[in-house]
């Protein structure tokens, strides 16, 4: 198999915006791997909350569903060869990766505010860990990125389960959130071409 770091040009119009989000040249298999689990997660989380009697408001149900859709989609999308080629192409460096990471503060803030009654210690702890772990991953040598990212993922799982207990109904949040960002997005892996 050959490795190709040069992405095709994004298409024009709305499809081009999609290409800039997931990477141009996405295969049908990649598209299905992204869409089906994302949609299922976006439906499953609110249904679980309703069935478990968590007492979430309509806004909480919608936000939790959207976060599940985004995070599940992000884990898969950022792990595809197409996204690796796009997000690690020439001109995409440390600043772009850290910018992508930084905007995800919104996810943690929403959990802290809406689902943990304004638990800002949760926000500060998780966001500081995210930034520190991202700095480490982006600064280690390429051959160490994946094992370091996985080690840091284990670290946040320990924090999540033992220092700051998970949020009822969102127990999945920290594991999936950090998997998306630390492992799927930041790790630069070879984008193989189709055989």
The secondary structure of the chain as a DSSP string is --B---PPPPPSHHHHHHHHHH-TT--HHHHHHHHHHHHHHHHHHHHHHHHTT----HHHHHHHHHHHHHHHHHHHHTTSHHHHHHHTSTT--HHHHHHHHHTTHHHHHHIIIIISSS-HHHHHHHHHHHHHHHHHHHHS-HHHHHHHHHHHHHHHHHIIIIISPPPTT-TTHHHHHHIIIIIIITS----BPP-
Q: Is residue 129 part of a domain?
A: yes
Q: Does residue 97 sit within a domain?
A: yes
Domain that holds residue 37: 13-185
> Is 77 domain-assigned?
yes
Walk along the chain (195 residues) and give the pLDDT tens digit of each residue: 788 888 889 999 999 999 999 999 999 999 999 999 999 999 999 999 999 999 999 999 999 999 999 999 999 999 999 999 999 998 899 999 999 999 999 999 999 999 999 999 999 999 999 999 999 999 999 999 999 999 999 999 999 999 998 999 999 999 999 999 999 999 999 888 765
Q: Does a structural domain hold residue 120? A: yes
- Asked if residues 165 and 183 have their Cβ atoms less than 8 Å apart, the reply is no
* pTM score, whole prediction: 0.94
In a domain? residue 49 = yes
Return the pLDDT at 194.
66
Q: Would residue 167 count as lying in a domain? A: yes
Bridge partners for 93 per DSSP: none
Q: Does residue 7 belong to any structural domain of this protein?
A: no
Residue 3 backbone dihedrals phi, psi, to 5 degrees: -105, 135
- Residue 126's pLDDT is 97
pLDDT of residue 195: 59
Domains in the chain: how many in total? 1
193 lies in a domain?
A: no
């Amino acid at each position: 198999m050959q490795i190709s770091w040069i992405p095709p040009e994004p298409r024009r119009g709305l499809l081009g915006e999609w290409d800039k989000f997931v990477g141009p040249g996405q295969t049908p298999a990649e598209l299905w791997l992204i869409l089906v689990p994302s949609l299922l997660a976006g439906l499953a989380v609110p249904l679980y909350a309703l069935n478990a009697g968590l007492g979430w408001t309509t806004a909480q149900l919608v936000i939790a569903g959207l976060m599940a859709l985004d995070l599940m989609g992000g884990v898969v999308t950022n792990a595809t060869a197409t996204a690796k080629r796009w997000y690690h192409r020439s001109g995409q460096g440390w600043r772009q990766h850290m910018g992508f990471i930084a905007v995800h503060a919104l996810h943690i803030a929403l959990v802290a505010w809406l689902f943990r009654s304004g638990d800002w210690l949760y926000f500060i702890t998780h966001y500081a860990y995210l930034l520190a772990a991202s700095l480490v991953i982006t600064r280690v040598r390429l051959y160490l990125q994946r094992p370091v990212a996985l080690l840091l993922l284990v670290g946040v799982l320990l924090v999540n389960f033992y220092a700051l207990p998970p949020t009822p109904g969102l127990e999945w949040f920290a594991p999936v959130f950090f998997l998306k960002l630390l492992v799927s997005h930041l790790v630069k892996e070879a984008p193989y071409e189709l055989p």
